[in-house]
Structure 1
Amino acid sequence: MMFVSLVRILGLLLALVSATMILPICAALAYGEYGVISSFLIPIIFCFIVEIVLFFSTRRREFKLTSRSGFAVVALAWVSTSFLGAVPFMISGAIPDFADALFESVSGYTTTGATILAEVENLPRSINLWRMQMHWLGGMGIVALTVALLPILGVGGFQLIKAETTGPEKGKITPKITVTAKILWFIYIAFTLVQTVLLMLAGMDFFDALGHSFATVGTGGFSSKNLSLGGFANVPAEWICIIFMLFAGVNFSLYYRLFTGRGIELLQNTELKAYLTIVFGAIFIVVPFIMPLYHSFGTAFRYAAFHVVSIITTTGFSTADYSKWHPAAQAVLFFLMFIGGCSGSTAGGIKVIRWVIMGKQMGIEVKRMLHPHGVFSIQLNKHAARKDMVFNVSAFMFLYFFVVMITAIITAVDGADLLTSVTASLAITGNIGPGFGNVGPAYNFGSFSSFTKYWLSFAMITGRLELYTMLVFFMPAFWKK
């Protein structure tokens, strides 16, 4: 029964994701790219035929999900969706090599924003829209979207959401998980629409405004310009993206509390306060070091704010080649790659709350040395946190850096220098996008071998699902009855 549930849910999910290809088909029609339409129609037709067959062959079976099958559904959903996303690239000829197409697709869905393409402006606009649209689908979560639209998954939906949601604390903001998913997606869509309108008012056309809103709110980073957002030379658009990247790095459940009259909880939220402190602290550290390069406080502040927010939220947009900045400014950006956004946001990385917990635990250990018989607890949001949270966070961070280390070794074996290897592994595992060295904002990931691209694709999905959901398959206990 669990196998039937697994197959049926995957069929529904793939049919739903393939249906979103209607938007790039509309773009292809609008821009006269008729030869590209079949690249999207073929996977749509295939997925719907498969779903129809599955529906009629399993319609009398009931859904049954356990915690084990929940992990399997989410992991296989992300893998199969990534394969599906690569199909339009290959059929259209935009990215004919399978390893490259899969890498680009995984990077899109996981909102990493790392690319193998040196030239994106020559791509059909519909293909570019698909690249940016994948960020938007993966940002809030493709499984969360499925749970929101298909109430039939409500019974076991919380198991799926837990396996996909980021952060150490996973809960509901309403009693029903389907309602929770719908609320989060409603907020997500509202942000996207508002940003699209603002970018159009700033001078972007509808195509670029929508695509960059997809990439901003989803904290992805794919752009229709080779120079990323800097290619538009549009200062108002840069500020709009700074604001919405900052918003996207916040726990979306806090917006629900704000809209329902519980705004006081934002002021009490420990992670939000730490997040904003890190962002503004990093900006004011970077500005003095890059002012000699830009000869203006306002310009230096804009560039510093853009790249600090872009890196900590793991969006990966760029408006300048920060590899040419003062080493101290680069060091700040490098350390931000270790942090990430808030839990429950669309941002990747380790997450601010985990660093807060480890920092508070360090303070407790110092107090314990001075007061051996004292009783201390970690305070989060004005309340005592669970005692097992430190163990959970410590295990996660060990596993995170282990994956980063393995990824760095694999890229180094492929011929990358130390700086490139280390920052590429951080950028991939943390779903950040560009790194330093040969994977900096002026370069791409196309030089790696096919094997390395497959591993990087695996690392991106592993990082997006916060490690355990993917790595649990390698534990013998998972396969025992």
Structure 2
Amino acid sequence: MQDIRPVFYVIGLMLVALAGLMLIPASVDAVEGNGNAGAFFTAALISGAIGGLVALSTRNGVSILFDTRQAYLITTLAWIIVSFFGCLPFMLGAPGLNLTDAYFESVSGITTTGSTVIVGLDNLPSGVNLWRGMLNGIGGLGIAFVAMIFLPVMRVGGMQFFRVQGYDTLGKVLPRASDIALSLLGVYSGLIVACMATYSALGMTPLDAVVTAMSTIATGGFAPMDASFSKYPGPIEYAAILFMFLGAMPYIRFVQLVAGDARPLWRDSQVRSMARWILTAAVLVTIWRVWAHGGPVEETFRRALFNLISIMTTTGFGSGDFGTWGGFALVVAFVVGMIGGCSGSSSAALSVFRVQVIIQALWAQARQISSPRQVIAIKYDGRTVDDETMDGLIFYTTAYILLLGVLSVFVTLLGVDGESALFGVWASIGNIGYAIGPATASTATFVDFPDSAKWVMTFSMLLGRVALLAAFVLLMPRFWRA
């Protein structure tokens, strides 16, 4: 029988850490005297007590070695359980959400999706908006760790292609993972500080700068203002474009950069392709918009580039009325949202790497048809993509598209119009967070969706974050018997 004590020991420690972090917004609200501090203190007490008891009761099973089953289990349960305790402040205090909305908001934050059901963000206690930004920051860092350490070893969706040399088993990974985690924490924190300083210098208020910086680097999209970046047009949008792009780059490149080797970053084909594709998309949408509707070229380009990079990096910030720009802009947005950012970052969706390899495979198949006797190998960055990786990529891509279609239809059966249902599931399973469609037009939130549809979207956000297959594998009896 599988020993799950190490898994719950780690989750227990996570809850204790989460409780400690809750004291930060609690202190902010206590200083402000807005009456909301008690909700955070209560949530911290509950989370810390339960987490501590779980850790103490399972510490006798602790081992430095994690096997693959435990890795699958922890990468799935961590998001589900931590999100539940993370939603407690939303229920116990302002804004006083019910369980459905509170869990939706917490999952959206932890998975760095950025969808929200809260209207009136500008009027919330400062601690609540700070907590929302912290959920994004916590999730982004956790996702970075999972993307760099666990997913390549778990062979999820072709990610084994990115296995770092020497990472042959989880037993070997974890000792080195602590060193990588420290480097990653330093880089991640440094990017947040740089982003926050830039926002502040360009005119953001201190609270907006802190919360938005955490959400930007985590590609999370939680903003402390209802208008999102429409409140800060101009230079701040260009700054956000830069930092969203940095947040969607492979985290291992930053670790290598800190170690003194910048060459992998400049040579990374994912980074080059992401920049090329997003710039092409923004130029095409700008040309179409100016030709069809007129308007200032610079402002149109800035809004197109901002919103499209927000969507492609699966951040979810909005600026202006991009969601109403019409069919061509929305089709382009849908496509870049399906692609997503780079593998090994906090961005989700299919990822640039998977799309690059799929395009290579299609091109190779076309050449094979025209030259049947020629043997054509699929290569990526000079390395041959083996059959195992290709099988994982194809299976993941097929499952992603199939789930997008099935869940969209299911949401329409729950009473949501077709456009809102499609873009709602697209925003959830891709952790994009961008609200498009008639059902979200009045508030730019998902508050008007039926509760049943919100649960489907919550499920979709979790699926998208744990790489789809990691969750489904846990439901297979054969996996536990192997």
Superposition TM-score, scaled by structure 1 size: 0.91
Tell me which residue corresponds to 2:332.
Answer: 332
Relative to structure 1, is the Cα distance of residues 366 and 164 closer, same or farther in structure 2, using a 3 angstrom cutoff?
A: closer
Distance 2:163 2:416 in 1: 41
Worse-superposed segment, 98-107 or 253-262: 253-262
Tell me which residue corresponds to 2:170.
Answer: none
Tell me which residue corresponds to 1:428.
Answer: 428
Tell me which residue corresponds to 1:200.
Answer: 200
The answer to whether residue 378 in structure 2 is matched with residue 386 in structure 1 is no
Task: Indicate conservation of the 8 Å contact 2:111/2:465, yes or no.
Answer: yes
Task: Indicate conservation of the 8 Å contact 2:158/2:393, yes or no.
Answer: no
Shift of 1:67: 0.9
The answer to whether residue 140 in structure 2 is matched with residue 139 in structure 1 is yes
SS in 1 for 2:338: coil
Shift of 1:97: 0.9
Relative to structure 1, is the Cα distance of residues 243 and 331 closer, same or farther in structure 2, using a 3 angstrom cutoff?
A: same
Distance 1:26 1:263 in 2: 40
For residues 317-328 of structure 1, the aligned pairs below 5 Å read 317-328=317-328
Relative to structure 1, is the Cα distance of residues 60 and 69 closer, same or farther in structure 2, using a 3 angstrom cutoff?
A: closer
Task: Indicate conservation of the 8 Å contact 2:115/2:433, yes or no.
Answer: yes
Task: Indicate conservation of the 8 Å contact 2:9/2:62, yes or no.
Answer: no
Task: Indicate conservation of the 8 Å contact 1:132/1:211, yes or no.
Answer: yes
SS in 2 for 1:434: coil
Worse-superposed segment, 357-366 or 177-186: 177-186
Distance 1:479 1:296 in 2: 60
Relative to structure 1, is the Cα distance of residues 94 and 289 closer, same or farther in structure 2, using a 3 angstrom cutoff?
A: same
Shift of 1:420: 1.3
Distance 2:333 2:394 in 1: 24
Distance 1:16 1:114 in 2: 25
Distance 1:280 1:425 in 2: 25
Distance 2:58 2:324 in 1: 58
The answer to whether residue 172 in structure 2 is matched with residue 171 in structure 1 is no
Relative to structure 1, is the Cα distance of residues 43 and 267 closer, same or farther in structure 2, using a 3 angstrom cutoff?
A: same
Equivalent residue pairs, number: 469
Distance 1:281 1:179 in 2: 38
The one-letter code matched in structure 1 to 2:268 is N
The answer to whether residue 356 in structure 2 is matched with residue 356 in structure 1 is yes
Superposition TM-score, scaled by structure 2 size: 0.91
The one-letter code matched in structure 2 to 1:222 is F
SS in 2 for 1:14: helix
Write the deviation string for residues 400-440 of structure 1: whole angstroms up to 9, x where unpaired.
Answer: 11221222022101122221111111111000012421355
Distance 2:152 2:389 in 1: 19
Shift of 1:225: 1.1
For residues 84-103 of structure 1, the aligned pairs below 5 Å read 84-103=85-104
Shift of 1:126: 0.8
Relative to structure 1, is the Cα distance of residues 173 and 247 closer, same or farther in structure 2, using a 3 angstrom cutoff?
A: farther
For residues 304-315 of structure 1, the aligned pairs below 5 Å read 304-315=304-315
Relative to structure 1, is the Cα distance of residues 443 and 24 closer, same or farther in structure 2, using a 3 angstrom cutoff?
A: same
Distance 2:373 2:152 in 1: 41
Relative to structure 1, is the Cα distance of residues 222 and 257 closer, same or farther in structure 2, using a 3 angstrom cutoff?
A: same
Relative to structure 1, is the Cα distance of residues 329 and 50 closer, same or farther in structure 2, using a 3 angstrom cutoff?
A: closer
The answer to whether residue 250 in structure 2 is matched with residue 258 in structure 1 is no
Distance 1:379 1:260 in 2: 28
Distance 2:154 2:221 in 1: 24
Task: Indicate conservation of the 8 Å contact 2:156/2:470, yes or no.
Answer: no
Task: Indicate conservation of the 8 Å contact 1:286/1:328, yes or no.
Answer: yes
The one-letter code matched in structure 2 to 1:246 is F
Tell me which residue corresponds to 2:122.
Answer: 121
The one-letter code matched in structure 2 to 1:456 is M
Shift of 1:165: 9.0
SS in 2 for 1:220: coil
Task: Indicate conservation of the 8 Å contact 2:314/2:431, yes or no.
Answer: yes
SS in 2 for 1:2: coil
Worse-superposed segment, 439-448 or 110-119: 439-448
Shift of 1:244: 0.2
For residues 4-403 of structure 1, the aligned pairs below 5 Å read 4-33=5-34, 35-63=35-63, 65-141=66-142, 144=145, 158-159=149-150, 162=153, 168=159, 169-172=161-164, 176-230=176-230, 232-291=231-290, 293=293, 295-403=295-403
Task: Indicate conservation of the 8 Å contact 1:108/1:131, yes or no.
Answer: yes
Distance 2:431 2:351 in 1: 12
Q: Which runs of 5+ in 2 are unaligned?
A: 167-172
Write the deviation string for residues 80-127 of structure 1: whole angstroms up to 9, x where unpaired.
Answer: 111011100000041331101110110111111111123222221111
Write the deviation string for residues 362-407 of structure 1: whole angstroms up to 9, x where unpaired.
Answer: 1111111222222222222233233322211110011111221222
SS in 2 for 1:338: helix
Write the deviation string for residues 436-460 of structure 1: whole angstroms up to 9, x where unpaired.
Answer: 2135565321222222222211110
Write the deviation string for residues 249-295 of structure 1: whole angstroms up to 9, x where unpaired.
Answer: 11111223334343332343222221111011111111112236562
Distance 1:305 1:273 in 2: 16
% identical equivalent positions: 26
Relative to structure 1, is the Cα distance of residues 417 and 216 closer, same or farther in structure 2, using a 3 angstrom cutoff?
A: same
Task: Indicate conservation of the 8 Å contact 2:109/2:136, yes or no.
Answer: yes
Task: Indicate conservation of the 8 Å contact 2:379/2:385, yes or no.
Answer: yes
Tell me which residue corresponds to 1:460.
Answer: 461
Relative to structure 1, is the Cα distance of residues 383 and 353 closer, same or farther in structure 2, using a 3 angstrom cutoff?
A: same
Distance 1:38 1:202 in 2: 34
Write the deviation string for residues 284-308 of structure 1: whole angstroms up to 9, x where unpaired.
Answer: 1111122365622211111111011
The one-letter code matched in structure 2 to 1:171 is R
Shift of 1:57: 4.1
Distance 2:156 2:37 in 1: 33
Tell me which residue corresponds to 1:150.
Answer: none
